[in-house]
């Protein structure tokens, strides 16, 4: 569309911009979908990749549920068809997961070509003779077929040409990824049916989705892309993927999915007995059940609190009306890599152990890219971020801990130096820190060996809001995304031991005391 921008009306200039930019097109012609909230940066990234049809032939958009994949796809089809040159024609196929979705997507496209006043004003009537729930042809000869099965596009090329674009939109779901054979079939259909069906030089393939299984086609794309990126190799696909919650703890789309809304969704999945589903649907973290070591049945909850009696110098767990003495311990897994936004988190975790060796997770801090020690004012207050050492000391004081076990590797040596310096500064030599070398054992084998006992006897209890920790437990295995929080749990448990207290007094008001050790007597005859 050749328009001299110096001599055209504002409307024509807007139309020119809309022909070049998907977001502009959406705001002009589809405001109900594009003006609901402020457009987030990742939508512009998606739109740029979709518009760059000459360079990007294979595009994978892998995002959380409800984050605009399908809306931008619908808009891109309408835009391409509206601005298609008269001497050309476009032949697109759109594959959805189910017939219902397929029909709904086609209905959206048809509705806007039939009833959208702005589209009709600028482009005239575009409804062609072919106008069914799975096959439409416009007056400019552009054609779209919509299917609910990848195999359905085999016989779709009826125009003596291959497809200009095939879109696989959430084509994988739990039903068609339930077995290894089904997952292999999906991959084969993409590589052996879909890819050969596009125009060999100009054709494009686009995959939209959210991972539904670790071994799904989409999740394998994520894994292979990450591997190639680490190796700095060129990848055949342009991959756009984000989690709903960014590494800095903010929302990917704050205008539509603020953190408060995501926390509501976390609670829904937790209360529904499937907390791992939140991580699958919104954090792109999936784990196949056959690889899982621990499941939801291993998770036991408690709803009490910790209390410290300064006179008796005893810490207590108050739970279900019972008050029992406990020892408390810290486990710390400091992050050793702060070079990338995908690096692990630093985790500082506190557990309590009662006389029966039941273990209660009291609290944990989980942060990415925090300093070893926070910068302090003259009065000792933190100027900016707390550091790993600050959290250890604060938790130590809050829960009157016996020891803090900290992973000791070369990258963490600064932690121990800073801990010693800080103990001297505040004159707290009673703070006991145990450096623990991982040794040569593979990390996840070590974690499994250290925690399998407490899980097998059901003596480990969690708070219901400990989403990250619980998710790592029920996805624990060779293919899990992160293991920093569960490793903090491992270190907290490693040197933990029950208190030596006995109970007297009435049943209703028990008194706890520490028995005095009796001297041993040796009789020699």
Per-residue pLDDT tens digits of the chain, which is 525 residues long: 444 544 457 777 878 889 999 999 999 999 999 998 999 999 999 999 999 989 999 999 999 999 999 999 999 999 999 999 887 899 999 998 888 888 999 999 999 999 999 999 999 999 999 999 989 999 999 999 998 877 677 655 555 678 999 999 999 888 888 888 888 998 998 999 899 999 998 999 999 999 988 888 998 999 889 888 877 778 999 999 999 999 888 999 999 999 999 999 988 987 787 777 888 899 988 866 666 788 778 889 999 999 999 988 899 999 888 889 999 999 999 875 544 445 578 999 999 999 889 999 999 999 887 888 888 777 777 777 888 999 999 999 999 999 999 998 876 778 888 899 989 988 988 999 999 988 766 788 888 889 988 998 899 999 988 988 988 888 787 666 678 899 999 999 999 999 987 776 655 566 666 766 665 555 554
Q: Which two tokens stand for residue 44?
A: 């512009």
Are 361 and 434 in the same domain?
Answer: yes
Cβ-contact 69, 208 below 8 angstroms: yes
Q: What's 29's domain CATH number?
A: 3.40.50.300
Looking at the fold, whether 350 and 441 belong to one and the same domain comes out as yes
**Chain Cα centroid distance, residue 56:** 26
Q: Is residue 226 part of a domain?
A: yes
- Shared-domain flag, residues 226 and 314: no
- Determine the pLDDT at residue 517: 63
- Can you give the pLDDT at residue 437? 87
Please report the pLDDT score of residue 409 as a whole number: 82
Task: Examine the domain organization and report whether 208 and 299 are in the same domain.
Answer: no
For position 87, what pLDDT does the model report? 79
Give yes or no: residues 210 and 76 share one domain: yes
Q: What pLDDT, on the 0 to 100 scale, is given for residue 145?
A: 93
Q: What is the DSSP string of 7-28?
A: SS-HHHHHHHHHHH-HHHHHHH
pLDDT value of residue 340: 45
Please report which helix (H) or strand (E) contains residue 138, including its range. Answer: strand 135-138
Could you give the dihedral angle defined by the CA atoms of residues 110, 114, 117 and 122, in that order, rounded to the nearest 10 degrees?
Answer: 90
**pLDDT recorded at residue 107:** 95
Tell which of 224, 242, 260 closes a domain.
242
**pLDDT (tens digit per residue) in 133-180:** 989 999 999 999 998 877 677 655 555 678 999 999 999 888 888 888
Residue 35 forms part of a structural domain: yes
Q: Does 259 fall in a domain?
A: no
Note down the domain range covering 334: 293-502
Select from 201, 218, 242 the last residue of a domain: 242
Which domain-ending residue is among 183, 210, 242? 242
36 shares a domain with 184: yes
| 342/470 same-domain check | yes
Is 280 within a domain? no
Q: Does residue 76 share a domain with residue 185?
A: yes
At CB < 8 A and 24+ separation, what contacts does 21-28 make? Answer: 21/47, 21/51, 22/47, 22/50, 22/51, 22/72, 22/75, 22/76, 22/79, 23/47, 25/75, 25/78, 25/79, 26/71, 26/72, 26/75, 28/118
CB atoms within 10 A of CB 270: 21
For residues 336 and 408, state if they share a domain: yes
Answer whether residue 285 is part of any domain.
no
pLDDT for residue 128: 93
Is 521 among the domain residues? no
Residue 510 lies in a domain: no
CATH number, domain at 408?
A: 3.30.420.240
**195 and 301 together in one domain:** no
**Beta pairing class for 403-407 and 433-436:** parallel
Do 57 and 134 have their domain in common?
yes
Asked whether residue 263 is assigned to any structural domain, the reply reads no
Number of structural domains in the chain: 2
Same domain, 231 and 309: no
């Amino acid at each position: 569309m050749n328009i001299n921008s110096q001599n055209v009306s504002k409307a024509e200039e807007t139309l020119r911009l809309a022909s070049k930019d998907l977001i502009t097109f959406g705001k002009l012609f589809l405001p109900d979908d594009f003006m609901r909230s402020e457009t987030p940066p990742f939508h512009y990234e998606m739109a740029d990749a979709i518009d760059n049809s000459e360079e990007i032939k294979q595009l994978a958009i892998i995002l959380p549920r409800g984050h605009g994949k399908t809306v931008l796809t619908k808009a891109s089809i309408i835009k391409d068809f509206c601005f298609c040159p008269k001497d050309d024609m476009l032949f697109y196929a759109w594959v959805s997961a189910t017939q219902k979705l397929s029909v709904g997507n086609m209905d959206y496209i048809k509705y806007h070509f039939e009833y959208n006043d702005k589209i009709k004003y600028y482009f005239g009537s575009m409804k062609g003779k072919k106008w069914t729930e799975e096959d439409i042809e416009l007056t400019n000869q552009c054609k779209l077929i919509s299917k609910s099965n990848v195999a359905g596009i085999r016989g779709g090329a009826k125009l003596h040409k291959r497809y200009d674009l095939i879109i696989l939109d959430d084509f994988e779901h739990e039903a068609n990824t339930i077995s290894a054979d089904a997952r292999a079939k999906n991959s084969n259909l993409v590589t052996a049916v879909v890819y050969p069906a596009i125009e060999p030089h100009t054709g494009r393939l686009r995959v939209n989705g959210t991972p539904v299984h670790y071994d799904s086609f989409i999740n394998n794309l994520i894994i292979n892309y990450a591997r190639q990126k680490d190796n700095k190799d060129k990848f055949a696909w342009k991959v756009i993927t984000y989690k709903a919650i960014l590494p800095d703890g903010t929302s990917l789309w704050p205008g539509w999915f603020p953190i408060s809304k995501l926390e509501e969704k976390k609670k829904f999945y937790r209360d529904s007995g499937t907390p791992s589903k939140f991580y699958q649907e919104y954090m792109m973290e999936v784990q196949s059940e056959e690889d899982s070591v621990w499941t939801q049945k291993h998770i036991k909850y408690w709803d009490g609190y910790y209390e410290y009696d300064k006179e008796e110098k005893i810490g207590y767990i108050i739970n279900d009306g019972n008050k029992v003495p406990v020892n408390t311990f810290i486990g710390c897994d400091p992050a050793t890599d702060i070079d990338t936004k995908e690096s692990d988190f630093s985790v500082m975790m506190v557990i309590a152990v009662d006389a029966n060796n039941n273990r209660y997770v009291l609290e944990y801090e989980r942060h990415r890219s925090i300093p070893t020690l926070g910068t302090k004012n003259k009065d000792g207050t933190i100027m900016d971020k707390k550091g790993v050492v600050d959290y250890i000391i604060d938790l130590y004081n809050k829960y009157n801990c016996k020891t803090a076990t900290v992973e000791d590797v070369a990258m963490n040596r600064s932690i121990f130096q800073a801990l010693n310096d800080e103990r001297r500064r505040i004159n707290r030599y009673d703070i006991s820190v145990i450096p623990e070398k991982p040794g040569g054992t593979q990390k996840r084998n070590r974690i499994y060996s250290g925690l399998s006992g407490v899980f097998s006897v059901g003596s480990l209890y969690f708070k219901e809001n400990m989403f990250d920790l619980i998710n790592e437990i029920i996805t624990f295995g060779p293919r899990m995304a992160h293991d920093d929080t569960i490793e903090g749990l491992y270190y907290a448990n490693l040197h933990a031991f029950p208190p030596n207290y006995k109970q007297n007094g009435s049943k209703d008001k028990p008194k706890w005391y520490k028995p005095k050790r009796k001297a041993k007597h040796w009789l020699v005859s």
